[in-house]
Amino acid sequence: MADAASATSGHGEELEDPGRRDFIHIAAIAATVGGAAAIAWPLIDQMNPSADTLALSSIEYDLSKVPLGQQVTVLWRKQPLFVRHRTPKEIAEAANADLGRLRDPQPDSARVKPGKAEWLIVVGVCTHLGCTPAFGEGEYNGWLCHCHGSVYDTSGRIRGGPAPKNLEVPDYAFLTDTRVKVG
Amino acid sequence: MSGPSTYEPKTALERWLDQRLPILRFNAELMDFPTPKNLNYWWTFGAILAFCLITQIATGVVLAMHYNASAGGAFNSVEHIMRDVNYGWLIRYIHANGASMFFLAVYIHTFRGIYYGSFKAPREVLWLIGCLIYLTMMATAFMGYVLPWGQMSFWGAKVITNLFSAIPLVGPAITTWLWGGFAVDAPTLNRFYSLHYLLPFVIAGLVGLHIWALHVPGNSNPVGVNVKSKSDTVPFHPYYTVKDGFAISVFVILFAVFVFYMPEALGHSDNYIPANPIVTPPHIVPEWYFLPYYAILRAIPNKLMGVAALGGAIACIFALPWLDTSKVRSMRYRPQAKIYFVFFVLACLVLGVCGAHEVDDQIISGLAGFPLGDANINSYVWLSRIGALYYFIYFLVITPMLGLRETPLPVPESISTPVLSHPAAAPAGATAAPEKKG
Amino acid sequence: MTRKFLALSAFLGLLVAGPALAASSQAPLKHVQWSFSGPFGSYDQAQLQRGFKVYREVCSQCHALNLVSFHDLGQPGGPFWDPKYPNPNDNPYVKAIAADYKVADIDPDTGENMQRAATSADHPPAPYANDTAAKATLGGAPPDMSLLVKAREGGPDYVYSLVTGYAPAPQGLVVPPGKYYNPYMLSDLASSWKGTGPAPVGGIIAMPPPLTAGKVSFDDGAPSTLDQEAKDVAAFLTWASDPKMDQRKQTGLAVLVYLAIFSGLLYASYRRIWRNVAH
């Protein structure tokens, strides 16, 4: 239709430059696509976390509630957080692991705070498909995820099964000897 | 849609309408549609599926009138439906078991398509639309299962959405986008509800395209040879409306047995515990219709490869028209293909059983077995690996190779020929012998 | 033909395939012949009334029943259903039971918090304000009982087995003070097991043995044995989680009879329409 219009308007005048005419159509199509994309973006982005979800708080926790050799699960940012009071044997097992054999190599010292090796704090979400691993099970006595059989050691590092990464260590700091602030 | 219309408006009103919106003509053409006369009972599952879709939409719209899509209210509103709403228990049990019935029918329909070569030229687009319907059904069923917000709802949602996190680079961003947060939570529930309401209508649209694509080449049939003359066909109505109607009625008997006498048999008791983001149920399983895929996912001890295999298993079904090289449509005349097909069905069932068990469960309890690679030989890991291997070999090796190498049996001249050569064939309604008819 | 039939029956077999084994374990449940078992079984009203009494006098000290309201007790199939009162809100038993409870409300005149007698529309008040409060007092949060039977594999058999099945802990099992060993509790005891050989089946439960002989006396003369109390409360909890079961089974029978006749009619119609077509 545009072609027909430009052909009749060319009557008695010099013909339009065909290159410029194509450019107009390309620009019009580009503007349509750009406009459509601009309208689509808010409709897509609305599914991302909203402002109140992003404004997540941090929590404080009193470690003295966790007996030696046990763990306590706390809810943090709607996810389970494992607070584990490790025995010297468990610390030694974690520290002596051969890093070369790990899927996601990381020394135990990088996963705990200096001088606080008895406290291991990790996000209790299996890095495979998000289940909560079971405490004290599996051949490394760390955790075993019953969903698909991922095995973690006493440092929360992946040792077997389908999970690709170690259990995540959140940002946290010791406020006092027995009190931590997570997040 | 094909062939000249025989519709004649009978009254002045019909003539008036016909010139403005020929909807009666359209309906008459659908009803008169020439359909091969040798379709067996496996062909009734198309109509059964239409029935299932209508049932699910009707009960779903009604349930939505009482359901409360919020993390705090969803679980209790489902119980409100079960306890207080008039006939709420009936409507919810129809909807919940209806999903299983829908998948049972879609699997039979798909296996029928594979066995009788219904996907072969010129019906590739028909097949692809069918695959899209199946994919949309899976998404709809998954999101619907999340809505009661019980433990299985929550953890199922978590595991399935986490599948996307396996995609390199953009995976975690996609997962966060799907969740609308950093974990499955209230925003996830609300959007799943919105999409669960939308997708059935997308399915209905796809079903329209599916029927359109069916009516261009017409139905395939158990013999697999094209319709040659008018004597090969009967009009859809009343011949197949009554046959499909009878089949639907028998199907509904099975449906009713589940709804009224074993409504929880296909569900999981953990879903009557409200969602708890701290406690993973000891044994997460998807609904039965996803179990084979779940087994394929778990067969591979690597996250990305497991998810890739899961996607590949579905992709194989889409690609089937281009994987099958056989010139003969129906496996009735392909004795070797028949055997491989039976093993394929068996592999799917074995994978389903594997998906229902934990990976390290023993198949034969008490038998020690021996370790092979990362798992004991007497464990469901190895069985699901064997099943998954056959699944892929069937699509990617057997199907292309067999068509080139096999010697098929002689194929009849026309649809009517086998009828004449077997005058003593089973009577039309003998349900026990569907294959011998035709 | 046979093969296809096999494939179809295998499909159906998959539908009813039993639940899978988990890593957790429990002793095989005791099977009770319930009045509501099977396609024609229905609730025994006298048993539901006894079970309600057990719930009220024992269970409700710790367990909530948040999804059941008083009027449910007088619905058809319920413990106090009386055909004379088709509207359960008029049922004198229901009204009397509700009036025995106090529920929190707002004073309509002053706007202050107050307690008033419950009505048939209310739920029995929960013993603890929330799980955290229950945990602080009891050392564990007792689950709400409204759906307990549906939420446990084995349903009423599980409740009966658990309540009657307390046993001394096997040598080598570390049971924390204030907790109990129960072989019917579905759990994994590997981390508490210090003995030799595989860990025992069952689990550690925070609930002390709740029922003993003579704990609840029944008005209808039923013996107040542990067995009787456990059966009755399991029946009551089954009703609480599935109060529409009687209606469901009755409706199902009518539906199946109709469908059988309807299918027969359609089949006859089908044979008649196809009688002249060779196919």
User: Which of C20 and A139 is assigned the larger pLDDT?
Assistant: A139
> What is the reported pLDDT for C5?
44
Report yes or no on B336 lying in a domain.
yes
8 A C-beta contact, residue B374 and residue B304: no
Distance to chain A for C62, nearest Cα, Å: 24
pLDDT confidence bin for B410, thresholds 50/70/90: very high
Which of A146, A150, A151 would you mutate first to test chain C, the one with the most C CBs within 10 A?
A: A146
How close C191 comes to chain A (CA, Å)? 6
B234 domain residue, yes or no: yes
Q: What does the pLDDT look like over C6-22, one tens digit per residue?
A: 444 444 444 333 333 33
The residue type of B254 is: L
**How far apart, in whole angstroms, are the C-alpha atoms of residue C259 and residue C254?**
9
pTM, 2 dp: 0.88
Task: Read off the pLDDT of each residue in A114-143 and give the average, rounded to a whole number.
Answer: 88
Q: By the 8 A CB rule, do B34 and B6 touch?
A: no
Residue B122 preceded by cis peptide, ω within 30? yes
More confident call, B392 vs A79: B392
CB proximity A72 to C under 8 Å:
no
Residue B436 within any structural domain of the chain: no
The pLDDT assigned to B422 comes to 53
Q: Which residues of B touch C24 (CB under 8 A)?
A: 282-283
B161 and B256 inside one domain:
yes
Confidence of residue A77 (pLDDT cuts 50, 70, 90): confident
pLDDT of B433: 38
User: End of a domain among B284, B306, B332?
Assistant: B284
Q: Is A148 a catalytic residue?
A: yes
- The enclosing H or E element of C106 equals strand C102-106
Over residues B149-202, the pLDDT tens digits come to 999 999 999 999 999 998 989 998 999 999 998 889 999 999 999 999 999 999
Residue ranges of domains in chain A: 2-45, 53-182
pLDDT of residue C20: 33
Residue B435 confidence (pLDDT) above 50: no
Task: Name the one residue in this structure whose structure tokens are 């690709």.
Answer: A164
Asked if residues B266 and B258 have their Cβ atoms less than 8 Å apart, the reply is: yes
Q: Indicate if B230 and B345 belong to the same structural domain.
A: no
B193 with B302, same domain: the answer is no
Q: Which residues span the domain enclosing B349? A: 293-366+375-409
Contact B260 C3 (CB under 8 A): no
Phi-psi region of A77 (alpha: psi -120 to 50; beta: other; left: phi over 0): left
For residues C163 and C183, is the Cβ–Cβ distance under 8 A? no
Give the pLDDT confidence of C163-184 residue by residue, as tens digits. Answer: 999 999 999 998 888 889 999 9
The answer on B211 and B68 residing in a single domain is yes
Q: Quote the number of domains for chain B.
A: 2
CA A135 to chain centre: 22
Q: Across the B/C interface, how many CB contacts are shorter than 8 Å?
A: 156
How far is C13 from C159, CA to CA, in rounded Å?
28
Per-residue pLDDT at C16: 38
Instruction: Compare all CA atoms of chain A with the CA of B295 and give the residue at the minimum distance.
Output: A148
pLDDT of amino acid C7:
45
Q: Which of residues 393-432 of B touch C (CB under 8 A)?
A: 416, 419-420, 428-429, 432
pLDDT digits (tens, 9 = 90+) for B303-319: 899 999 999 999 999 99
Task: Name the active-site residue from A11, A25, A146, A148.
Answer: A148
Q: What is the pLDDT at residue A16? A: 63
B8-12, B206-210, B421-425, C130-134, range with the lowest pLDDT: B421-425
pLDDT at B363: 84
Average pLDDT value over all residues in chain B: 91
User: Which residue on chain B is closest to A55 by alpha carbon?
Assistant: B181
Q: Give the pLDDT of residue C255.
A: 97
Q: Nearest CA to C235 among C23, C67, C45?
A: C45
Residue B43 maps to a domain: yes
Longest dimension (CA), chain C: 85
Residues B305, B208 share a domain: no
**Average pLDDT for residues B348-355, to the nearest whole number?**
95
In a domain, B254, yes or no: yes
pLDDT digits (tens, 9 = 90+) for C42-69: 999 999 999 999 999 999 999 999 999 9
Q: Which residue has the higher pLDDT, B94 or B172?
A: B94
Within an 8 Å CB–CB cutoff, is residue B235 touching chain C?
A: no
Interface of C with B in 85-114 (CB under 8 A): none
User: Is B150 a member of any domain?
Assistant: yes
Distance CA(B421)–CA(C48), nearest Å, equals: 67
Between CA B280 and CA B275 the distance in angstroms is: 9
Residue B436's pLDDT is 38
Mean pLDDT of B128-134: 98
CB C70 within 8 A of CB C119: yes
pLDDT digits (tens, 9 = 90+) for B412-424: 988 887 755 554 4
pLDDT above 80 for A111: yes
As a whole number, mean pLDDT of residues B288-292 equals: 96
Rounded average pLDDT over B367-371: 78
Average pLDDT value for residue range A47-66: 84
Q: Exposure pattern of C59-86 as b/e (b: 16+ CB <10 Å)?
A: bbebbbbbbbbbbbbbbebbbbbbeebe
Identify which of B273, B308, B304, B295 has the alpha carbon closest to the alpha carbon of residue B358: B295
Please tell me whether residues B327 and B268 are part of one structural domain: no
Which tens digit of pLDDT belongs to each residue from C111-154? 999 999 999 999 999 999 888 888 888 878 899 999 999 999 99
Q: What's residue C279's pLDDT?
A: 66
pLDDT in tens, B21-72: 999 999 999 999 999 999 999 999 999 999 999 999 999 999 999 999 999 9
Rounded distance, CA B236 to CA B47, Å?
12
CATH topology of domain A53-182: Rieske Iron-sulfur Protein (2.102.10)
User: Could you give the CA distance from residue C259 to residue C263 in angstroms, rounded to a whole number?
Assistant: 6
Q: Residue B432, exposed/middle/buried by CB under 10 A (0-12, 13-18, 19+)? A: exposed
| Chain B neighbors (3+ CB pairs < 8 Å) | A, C
- Domain CATH code at residue B138: 1.20.810.10
Mean pLDDT score of chain C, rounded to an integer? 88
Q: Is B245 in the same domain as B320?
A: no
B39 and B149, same domain (yes or no): yes
What residues in A contact B280, CB-CB < 8 Å? 131-134, 146-147
Of all residues in chain B, the one with the smallest CA distance to C258 is B253
Q: With beta carbons under 8 A apart, name residues in chain C contacting B111.
A: 7
* Contacts of A among chains (3+ CB pairs under 8 A): B, C
Q: Do B43 and B184 share a domain, yes or no?
A: yes
Buried b (16+ CB within 10 A) or exposed e, A143-158: bbbbbbbbbbbbbbbb
Is residue B37 within 8 Å of B236, Cβ to Cβ?
no
Q: ipTM of the predicted structure?
A: 0.89
Comparing C-alpha atoms, which of A109, A110, A147, A102 is closest to residue A126?
A147
Contacting B residues, span 158-197, partner chain C, CB-CB under 8 Å: none
Q: Does C262 touch chain B (CB under 8 A)?
A: yes
